[in-house]
Amino acid sequence: MTSDDFFKRIETHFNKQLPFVIYRKPHQEKGSARLQSNTHLHFTENFTEKGFVFSPFDDNEKTILIPNEVSDVITTSYVSSSTSTSLGINSVDTSQLNANSAPTDSKTNHINLVKKGVEAIHTSDLKKVVLSRQETVNGSETNPISIFKRLLKLYKSAFVYCWYHPKVGLWLGATPETLIKIEGNRFSIMALAGTQDYNGSLDVVWKNKEQQEQQFVTDFIIDNLKPSVDSFKVSNVETVKAGNLVHLKTMISAQLKPATPLKNVIKALHPTPAVCGLPKLIAKQFILKHENYNREFYTGFLGELNCEITIAPRSGKRNIENRAYSVTRKSTQLYVNLRCMQLKNQQAIIYVGGGITESSNAESEWDETVSKSLVIKSVL
């Protein structure tokens, strides 16, 4: 399907107020969409279904499913061709945006929230807590397809999506963080933490605070998945770029034990310390009590669930005889919902946050949320 036909199908579907999701995976040109044929609100019961899931931050809430069996699945190999691919991920321009556009009371409230978090870390069993805020942008671009195309241009290495359900709302984002990827019994997961502004080089100096935050996430993943896997392979920590920001990243891979339910794996991981904190339950309770707004799907997760992929032998790509030995496996690819916004009542609601540890500085944490908000505002 051509890119023009692809987007026309989606616009027609959206005008009928029918549920859909469009997305492009990191470092790919191919775009995919699922167009649900009715307005029924489906949920996954145990993560054995096939389709696309959209899950909130609060793991006590249900995960929404766009099921394959009631959806048209369409793809295009040229999703970026209509979006001027000469504009790469380095092209995020925040110079014309006002870093002080957030209301003064928003700054005061967030600084006070961070101070409460640091105090709780010093006076309780809390080790880390991720604290966030929302910011509303009025009179901005509210055409979701146009915003999605801009996100495609700016975030080549991110999972870019636009998700809509008339009974839930309209969300867009470009997340740099993978929750989990599973093919057969092999899985990989990303530990992403720490944030700095990108200043032209990946050769940056990380403070102890960011290094500690990153280690918290890595240790949490390994400790919580030990009952479900046979062995772990952990990469070295590296600095990676996402938009005009850089983060610390570790990749963890392993072999799942036979017959391990996917539901158990997701429950063990979500929400991770990268979006919640440690210990998980204490951090989550602090967030729900003190943030004073509902995150909804921000810092939840989304992606393909139990979709079939065909894997051909490497040596047989051009050999017809070897193609007979291709194998079909179930693949699940879930991403943490970061760098996202909700479009509502002709407004864009932007969600930003950061990890708080015992050495966090409240003013610096505010500045980090401003940097993150400017990057996502650049597409409006």
Are the CB atoms for 116 and 291 separated by under 8 Å? Answer: no
For residue 159, what pLDDT is reported? 96
What is the C-alpha to C-alpha distance for residues 354 and 35, in angstroms, rounded to an integer? 34
- Encoding tokens for residue 95? 């110079």
For residue 327, what pLDDT is reported? 66
Find tokens 């409006």 and name the residue: 380
Are the CB atoms for 144 and 163 separated by under 8 Å? Answer: no
Instruction: Give bridge partners of residue 342 from the DSSP assignment.
Output: 171, 349
Find tokens 């990469």 and name the residue: 235
pLDDT in tens, 160-214: 999 999 999 999 999 988 999 999 888 888 888 778 888 888 888 898 888 888 8
This prediction has a pTM of 0.86
For residue 116, what pLDDT is reported? 97
Other CB atoms within a 10 A radius of the CB of residue 261 amount to 13
Give the chain's domains with CATH numbers.
Answer: 3-311+329-377 (3.60.120.10)
Q: What is the mean pLDDT of each run of 10 residues along the chain (380 residues)?
A: 93 97 94 97 96 96 97 87 37 46 81 97 95 88 88 90 97 93 89 83 87 86 89 89 84 89 92 92 97 96 89 57 64 95 93 93 94 85
Radius of gyration of the chain (CA): 20
Residue 262's H or E segment, with its range, is helix 262-269
Residue 53's H or E segment, with its range, is strand 51-55
Q: How many residues does the chain have?
A: 380
For residue 274, what pLDDT is reported? 87
What is the C-alpha to C-alpha distance for residues 346 and 274, in angstroms, rounded to an integer? 31
For residue 329, what pLDDT is reported? 77
Which of 133, 144, 88 has the alpha carbon at shortest distance from 110? Answer: 133
